[in-house]
Amino acid sequence: HIRVKIGFLFQSSALYDSMTVRENLEFPLRRHWITKTRDEVNELVMEALDNVGLTNAVDLMPSELSGGMRNRIWLARTFVLKPDIILYDEPTTGLDPITGREISKLIVDIQHKYNTSSIIITHDMGCARIVANRIMVLVNGVCYAEGTFAELEKSNDPNIKPFFE
């Protein structure tokens, strides 16, 4: 029951290439033994796709999707369960700056719409600027500093400053 409340987004889209978009989104519902009617499952799938602007992709295969579309489907698959917390591993890796901003804004939209908390691991400071309320800077695997983006951006500390230049 606890696992259902935590969503994970891995660095790559991690979609099952032998399943359609619909089947990819249905998978977490089946995997966690969530009892829903066929209509309720379809409603959850379509709501998740609507949230990422891809309702028309429901019957496509992952190979038919662009990189940005795969990331959106990956995001939809994670929040089809409407978790309380979502853990993101480099959500904008490999994306062009425009698509990266779109994914970052989607993360914020999901946080607001579903009152979801997020923990995001990223090297993309553009993403961090958009999504972060608080930032923790790790140096040699240890929390070296924390604060808002604006607070850390003003730092002259040689271990922090390079991230914000």
Q: List alpha helices for the chain, DSSP H.
A: 21-31, 38-51, 67-79, 97-114, 125-131, 149-153
Contacts made by residues 54-60, CB under 8 angstroms, sequence distance 24+ = 54/21, 57/21, 58/20, 58/21, 58/22, 59/20, 59/21, 59/22, 60/20, 60/21
* pLDDT at residue 164, as a whole number: 86
Residue 146 in this model has a pLDDT that exceeds 80: yes
For the chain, report the end-to-end CA distance as a whole number of angstroms. 43
Quick one: pLDDT band at residue 25, thresholds 50, 70, 90?
A: very high
pLDDT (0 to 100) of residue 68 = 83
145 — pLDDT class (breaks 50, 70, 90):
very high
Cα gap 104→108, rounded to integer Å: 7
What pLDDT score was predicted for residue 153?
Answer: 95
Give the integer Cα–Cα distance in Å for 34 and 165: 46
3-state class (DSSP) for residue 139:
strand
- pLDDT (mean) for 61-66: 92
pTM over 0.85: no
User: Quick one: average pLDDT of 85-104?
Assistant: 90
